[in-house]
């Protein structure tokens, strides 16, 4: 399979996933916040933050993340070095696994589970097709780096959106 094709699909699958989240997260939280509080009383602070999220804020965060994924993919294609792309792919794959865990814990639909079912096979396939480009040490390093940078970026974007809404 052509490496350019494999790498180029990441922004498309990422966008598909983010679109489901953009459309569904805020209405789902509004509908389920009481049930979340009942089932997870220790998560009150997180639930309150989720209730403050608007579709506009969520879209801004998703657009910024999409830009990062797209730039990393383009840079990897341009340079022939898929390291930046793999960091994004690994972080995205872990993100999807988190959604599966949320789905299992919630025991019902959560925003993004439908697109997770479509995107996770791509992530597994892409990792399988590209893992030989890297040593096991590099695979581990790029996975950890992607998770750390993705997590810091996500927390930073949520903090920015929270401060802008004040």
Cα–Cα distance for residue pair 143/89, rounded to 1 Å: 8
Cα–Cα distance for residue pair 59/74, rounded to 1 Å: 22
Whole-prediction pTM value?
Answer: 0.92
- pLDDT tens, N- to C-terminus, the chain (166 residues): 599 999 999 999 999 999 999 999 999 999 999 999 999 999 999 999 889 888 998 899 999 999 999 999 999 999 999 999 999 999 999 999 999 999 999 999 999 999 999 999 999 999 999 988 999 999 999 999 999 999 998 888 888 877 776 5
Measure the CA angle with vertex 59, ends 41 and 61; round to 5°: 75
23 Cβ contact list (under 8 Å, min separation 6): 111
């Amino acid at each position: 399979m052509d490496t350019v094709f494999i790498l180029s699909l990441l922004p498309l699958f990422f966008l598909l996933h983010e679109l489901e989240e953009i459309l569904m997260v805020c209405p789902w939280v509004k509908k389920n916040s009481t049930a979340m509080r009942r089932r997870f009383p220790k998560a009150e602070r997180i639930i309150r933050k989720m209730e403050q999220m608007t579709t506009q804020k969520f879209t801004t965060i998703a657009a910024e993340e999409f830009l990062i994924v797209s730039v990393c993919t383009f840079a990897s294609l341009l340079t022939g070095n898929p390291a930046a792309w793999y960091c994004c792919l690994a972080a995205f794959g872990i993100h999807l696994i988190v959604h599966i865990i949320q789905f299992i814990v919630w025991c019902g639909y959560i925003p993004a589970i439908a697109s997770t079912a479509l995107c996770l096979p791509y992530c597994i396939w892409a990792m399988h097709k590209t893992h030989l480009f890297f040593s096991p040490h590099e695979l581990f390093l790029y996975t950890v780096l992607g998770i750390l940078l993705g997590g810091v970026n996500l927390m930073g974007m949520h903090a920015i959106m929270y401060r802008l809404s004040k």
